[in-house]
Amino acid sequence: MRQALIIAGPTCSGKSALALALAERLGGTVINADAMQCYRELRVLTARPTPEEEARAPHALYGVLPASVVGSVAWWRAAALEAMEGASLPILCGGTGMYLRALTQGLSALPDVTPAARAEARALLAELGPEALHARLNAEDAALIRPSDSQRIARAHEVWLSTGRSLAHWQRAAPLLPPAPYAFRAILLDPPRAELRAAIAARWQAMLTGGAREEVATLLAQGLDPALPAMRAHGVPELAALLRGEITGDEASRRAIANTGAYTRRQATWFRHQPLMAARHVPFAAPQRAHIINARFASLAQFSESEQAKIFAFLREGVDGAIPPP
């Protein structure tokens, strides 16, 4: 079974830096597993790797979708498998847990929805808002989806309109796309909350200096549906409100930093409860192992030689030389 690495963790924990360092050392390809970094219009606000970083090692699935498109879990899974097939060592890097779970645990093959159903669901979401549309869901879907999760609410509604059955029904009944045929090793970055909060604030200021406001202005000029995922990326709603004159710059920054911090808390909780991430060096039924680093990653040189040795020993473990020594 081929080897693949996963670098996971909350936003701003240093995943991209670690993935790039490992790709350079191990001859790997960094494959994006972050839903927002798929969108080409959002390089600054999603902290996508820079052109200089992308030149240091092969990268895949960064900036490949227009903001007008909804990048589904099923789409990403298929694209990631294709990218992995062409990589000597795939290094999946990102914080979108549903993407990684679809790869490591499989995915229900849900039915296609009709364009009319999709348009109606998105129109209702824009007209009513997520909480009111959530109230219209059947009991099964309503129990599984948060009232604030507008994307999943719209998805459930469009599946119902297309098929007459709930999303929960199809998730139970649809055949499962199997886990990817790889032996996964995962490194979870789980830095202390205070360290992560400081990094989020620093990154936001760097984004503003780097053109985030101009990036959002260009995005708004497309006149896209505000319910689209790209329009709800961290920082987009806040800077959009600033550009419309609804809030001040200080308020936009306060909201963006607070909302990103709340999201990282949900990410960290989610990852801690996934089988692949649940414990250090504990094998599971599938050939998957996890190594947890309780620090924010800035560069490989940040760690002592002994910590670096632990990381590479963990990655080499059980793969018969597929990963060379550091």
Q: Is 310 marked within a binding site?
A: no
**E-state strands within the chain:** 2-8, 29-32, 59-60, 90-94, 107-108, 176-177, 182-189, 288-293
Share of the chain above pLDDT 90, in %: 44
Q: Is 10 marked within a binding site?
A: yes
Q: Is 9 marked within a binding site?
A: yes
In this structure, which topology does domain 2-105+184-210+262-316 adopt according to CATH? Rossmann fold (3.40.50)
Q: Is 16 marked within a binding site?
A: yes
Encoded tokens for 218: 């260009």
Q: What is the pTM of this model?
A: 0.79
Instruction: Look at residue 279 in the predicted model and tell me its pLDDT.
Output: 37
Asked whether the predicted pLDDT for residue 166 surpasses 70, the reply is yes
Residue 152's closest CA among 139, 163, 168, 164?
Answer: 168
One-letter amino acid at 86 equals G
Asked whether the predicted pLDDT for residue 297 surpasses 60, the reply is no
Tokens 């509604």, residue?
A: 157
Averaged confidence pLDDT in the chain: 85
Q: Is 13 marked within a binding site?
A: yes
Q: Mind giving me the DSSP string for 173-234?
A: HSPEEPPPSEEEEEEEE---HHHHHHHHHHHHHHHHHTTHHHHHHHHHTT---TTSGGGGST
Q: Is 28 marked within a binding site?
A: no
Instruction: Look at residue 304 in the predicted model and tell me its pLDDT.
Output: 63
- Specify the 3-state DSSP secondary structure of 306: helix
Q: Is 218 marked within a binding site?
A: no
Q: In the chain, where are the structural domains located?
A: 2-105+184-210+262-316, 110-174
Q: Is 162 marked within a binding site?
A: no
Asked whether the predicted pLDDT for residue 83 surpasses 90, the reply is yes
Question: CATH number of the domain at 110-174, out of 2.40.50.140, 1.10.20.140, 3.20.20.10, 3.40.47.10?
Answer: 1.10.20.140
